[in-house]
Amino acid sequence: MTDQAPAPYAGPQRVLSGVQPSGDLHLGNYLGALAKFARIQHEAPTFIFVADLHAITVWQEPSKLKQQVREIAAAYLATGLDPKVASIFAQSAVPEHAELAWVFNCVARLGWLDRMTQFKEKSGKHKERASVGLYTYPVLQAADILIYKATHVPVGEDQKQHLELTRDIAQKFNNDFAAPGFFPLPEPLTQGPGARVMSLRDGSAKMSKSDPSDYSRINLTDDADAIAQKVKKARTDPEPLPETMEGLEGRPEAKNLVGIYAALSGKTDAEVLAEFAGQGFGAFKPKLADLAVSVMAPIGGEMRRLLADPGEIDRVLAEGAGRAREIAAPVMAEVRRLVGFWAG
């Protein structure tokens, strides 16, 4: 890397993000990502994709993958993304993602990828058996972002390191190919609470679709009865809710439920405590259940309606892919020219 200050990017602002089609989405995905997508789509041109190329870094059943893509697209639509405003598409439908990723594989340095902590976490003790794709997928993430010259990316804490890698790749490409300011150095976009929702059965573990207990999470497709039942069965402690945030220290389940209430209601944790201070969970849980049902049950109903009409979902995905390629194809053509590839 050079110490030369990067030339400023002068192009339009764009926002990009995506979700892998690898299982049921839940409340944590909604509060941490989907609700934010719906808000930001009106602030700048927005590209939201279903990351099916990323999904196959681990084995996916081919007969199920297409339906899982539709399920994520249905979740996007049910949680407020407007396909006339945001481009919604499957990653694999825009081949420029993969083509740019190969160029970036040749720009990125091995030492940069060796520092990526997520590969170590996901591969565990048997990294030699992990796919090469699992090791290099942060480079594909960089291509996902930069093929649209996206300037802002909604990220959680676990993805900030990958966004830094994207910035490094963009700067090195611009320097290596004498194209100052060609790619932007994208900035993280963080908005509002609810980025980290914990399990309803264990307040120290993140809510996860891989948890064997369905009572650990509220799925986006759950109906009102299931949502209410899961909130009422959520693990708590015997103490009443405190008046201050300090009083939640050492009480992970209580802190999680207060945080969920805050995120669903648009309030701060402190405002929730001010409202319920001194009350036990016998009083708090029914209020939380009513709130969760009012917000989440309509989403589940809309998802079920959409999934009953896969042709409509496919139409949205096809139109979104077409709009995405209108941006991606010229960028890739310019990359080919800069790199020196034969053009005929």
Cite the active site residues: 122, 206, 209
Sheet containing strand 87-90, edge to edge, reads: 87-90, 46-50, 15-19, 152-154, 187-189
Residue whose tokens read 């708590």: 236
Q: Is 32:199 a contact under the CB 8 Å cutoff?
A: no
What is the rounded distance in angstroms from the CA atom of residue 109 to the CA atom of residue 169? 9
Count how many Cα atoms sit within 13 Å of the Cα of residue 129 in the half-sphere of its side chain: 6
Q: Is the dihedral of CA 105, 126, 201, 258 positive or negative?
A: negative
Lookup: tokens for 128: 């030699």
- Residues 6 or more apart whose Cβ sits within 8 Å of residue 132: none
H or E stretch including 225?
Answer: helix 224-232
CA-CA distance, 197 to 118, in Å (whole number)?
Answer: 19
Token match 């590839």: residue? Answer: 341
Please answer whether residues 112 and 155 qualify as being in contact, where contact means their C-beta atoms are separated by less than 8 angstroms.
Answer: no
Helices (H) and strands (E) in the chain, counts: 14, 5
Q: Are 48 and 6 in contact (CB under 8 A)?
A: no
CA–CA dist 48, 65 (Å, integer): 18
